[in-house]
Amino acid sequence: MGGVATDSSEQDKRGAGASAAHTQALMERRQSLLGPNMSTFYDQPLHIVKGEGVWLWDADGRKYLDCYNNVPHVGHCNPRVVDAICRQAARLNTHTRYLHNGILDYVERLTATFDDALDTALLTCTGSEANDVALRMASAMTGKSGLIATDATYHGNTTAVAKLSASNRSPHGSSSHIRWVPAPDSYRPLGGTAGDAHALAFADAVSEAIADLEASGHGFAAIIVCPHFVNEGFPSLPPGWLAPTLAKVRAAGGLFIADEVQPGFGRLGSHMWGHQRQGVVPDIVTMGKPMANGHPVGGVVTRAEIMAAFRSSYRYFNTFGGNPVSCAAAMAVLEEIEQQGLMENALSVGAYAKQGLEQLAVHHRAIGDVRGQGLIFGAEMVTDRQTKRPASAYTDKLINAIRHRGIILSKLGRHKNALKIRPPMPFQREHVDLLIEILDAVMRETAMEQD
């Protein structure tokens, strides 16, 4: 368990006192320089100064097990990635208006992990930029503008992409070309639990949205979803669940955009990409966060005909996109996944973690549902297993208490009552043991009075 403080020693108490004043000073400086409403995690935000593998350290020297961050996909400060960045940054960093093997070698290796039809790529700096391009690809290919997303999603921060978040509707700018369908929820499935009912209910909702878009004059360009519905609370959906939806989308002449920012790069353990676990081939795939372990890289993979349609409709150049350093960092991530067997690790450690949560559920009635696939797993907290009423305030108390016990994780889902556990990919069984032990201890100590 080395190094994580699981009790309040004298040193921790002193540290906590100094830390609170220090945090307050940083928060004030932040407000003054960056403005209000900058989001932070936890009631008492963390001041992190160092990372290594699955561990983070704060300014007081306290060590935290990182069970949350997917950006440092192959581990914080992964030596192979750092070395690749340093070597290339010292040699050359230009743009794609000059020829360079870095982008070609990387795109060749990246597209080799996809279905044969998905054979071209465009590199950006962020997942938001990738989705912003994907939406234009869909317009260029279909000549239409209507989009479908779920009502509990997030696909990024550009003006065009931010509109896809139903919860983040801005007072400015039209969203009349967007239709939201109810996010899948395996714990409370629309259509019921029998057979394909949930999958068919989702497909029917998509079908209605398509008809509505066609009637509106926008027409139907594309549906964009995370194929593992991670922001929606990563429901347990069997392979094939998306097939009826895909059939409706294809029949209507629309495109399927898979946002692989979260499930991609082997996180699900069984497959490199979330859509592959579902057994479907998207028209466009977008990626971001884990792609280069925190170096700003995003990308779009699609069929050559869609890439050509985009490039003939839009003149697109991204100054930093696909530069030699970015490609070296991204290549190192693919190499590390393969050479360290991180996808296989995600499958086995993820299964072990899910078992651990299921064991906890035997003793803790607050755990209404345990879900997980590879290294994205968690548990939904409820006030009552019969009514399945979300224990949102309790979940918030839990993650704050766990943070003070040296474990970093978060919450998500429509009711913000599901623990979101999504650690760096080198996460091991010993880390699961520590996580489960502290989660158990904190749940024993935490009352559910507010929900």
Q: Of 303-332, which residues contact its own copies (CB under 8 A)?
A: 304, 307-308, 310-320, 323, 325-326
Q: Per CB under 8 A, which region of 6-14, 228-236, 300-308, 435-443 contacts its own copies?
A: 300-308
* Residue 261 CB, nearest approach to its own copies (Å): 9
- Based on the shown chain and the rule CB under 8 A, indicate whether residue 370 belongs to the binding site for its own copies: no
Sheet order of strands, 255-259 included: 120-124, 298-302, 284-287, 255-259, 220-225, 146-150, 178-181
Helix (H) or strand (E) segment spanning residue 383? strand 376-384
Identify which of residues 45 and 253 has a Cβ nearer to its own copies in the complex: 45
Q: Tokens 């590390």 correspond to what residue?
A: 336
Cross-strand pairs, 123: 299
At 96, which amino acid appears?
T
Identify which of residues 107 and 343 has a Cβ nearer to its own copies in the complex: 107
Identify which of residues 5 and 26 has a Cβ nearer to its own copies in the complex: 26
- Residue 259: which of 293, 224, 235, 230 has the closest Cα? 224
Distance between CA atoms of residues 361 and 379, nearest Å: 9
- Residue 189: which of 374, 369, 410, 442 has the closest Cα? 369
* Residue 109 CB, nearest approach to its own copies (Å): 10
Quick check: helix, strand or coil at residue 380?
Answer: strand
- Based on the shown chain and the rule CB under 8 A, indicate whether residue 50 belongs to the binding site for its own copies: yes
Identify which of residues 143 and 240 has a Cβ nearer to its own copies in the complex: 143
* Residue 369 CB, nearest approach to its own copies (Å): 26
- Based on the shown chain and the rule CB under 8 A, indicate whether residue 217 belongs to the binding site for its own copies: no
Identify which of residues 51 and 269 has a Cβ nearer to its own copies in the complex: 51
**How many other CB atoms are there within 10 angstroms of residue 330's CB atom?**
30
Identify which of residues 4 and 46 has a Cβ nearer to its own copies in the complex: 46
- Total of chain residues touching its own copies, rule CB under 8 A: 99
Cα three-residue angle 243-245-246, rounded to 5 degrees: 65
Are 350 and 269 in contact, with CB atoms under 8 Å apart?
A: yes
Query: Which pair of tokens denotes residue 448?
Result: 């559910």
Q: Which of residues 77-96 bind its own copies (CB under 8 A)?
A: 77, 81-82, 85-86, 89-96
Are 403 and 46 in contact, with CB atoms under 8 Å apart?
A: yes
Identify which of residues 31 and 450 has a Cβ nearer to its own copies in the complex: 31
Cα three-residue angle 176-179-183, rounded to 5 degrees: 150
Q: Per CB under 8 A, which region of 162-170, 268-276, 350-358, 383-391 contacts its own copies?
A: 162-170
- Return the residue of 2, 171, 192, 195 that touches its own copies, per CB under 8 A: 171
- Based on the shown chain and the rule CB under 8 A, indicate whether residue 184 belongs to the binding site for its own copies: no
Distance between CA atoms of residues 325 and 329, nearest Å: 6
Identify which of residues 103 and 391 has a Cβ nearer to its own copies in the complex: 103
Q: Which of residues 100-129 bind its own copies (CB under 8 A)?
A: 100-101, 103-104, 107-108, 111, 119-122, 125-129
- Based on the shown chain and the rule CB under 8 A, indicate whether residue 386 belongs to the binding site for its own copies: no
Which string of x and - marks every residue 236-275 that binds its own copies (by CB under 8 A)? Answer: ----------------------------------------
Alpha helices in 143-232 (DSSP H): 159-162, 197-216
